Amino acid sequence: MGNINPGRVVLGGVVAGIVVNAFEFVLNGVLLAKQWPDLMASINRPVLGVREIVYFNIFGFAMGLVAVWTYAAIRPRFGAGPRTALYAALLTWVTGYVFVNITPAIMGVYPMSMTAMLIGVGLAEIVVATLVGAWLYKE
């Protein structure tokens, strides 16, 4: 069993984070751009500003790092390659996208249509991001 290569986790994670943030820009900055101000007003909160967007970008990079680190951690058991990257992506998606977005939907904060879009696009983004990050990872 090999050791995790932290430099390659960071490299793959940063690139994966760029992919995540690109997807999130299209999703939230374009597709849902008109819905977010209405949603924030409905919960009596101000519209998101630059500071919050910076935090979300940091979160995107963190998601990329978590996905690639997960890939590196399970690689000795499942082997190198896209199938293992897919397993890492699915674990990251369930814990970092499904659980996170379903809670506000259950509480009635997010409409189910918005929740479905956040979770669905999240699946596509984390799969692509993890595949790219895993491709860059070497032990």
Residues in the chain predicted with pLDDT less than 50, given as ranges, are none
Phi, psi for residue 117 in degrees, rounded to 5: -70, -45
Query: pTM score, two decimals?
Result: 0.93
- Look at residue 19 in the predicted model and tell me its pLDDT: 98
- Look at residue 1 in the predicted model and tell me its pLDDT: 55
Phi, psi for residue 3 in degrees, rounded to 5: -90, 155
Position 38, amino acid: D
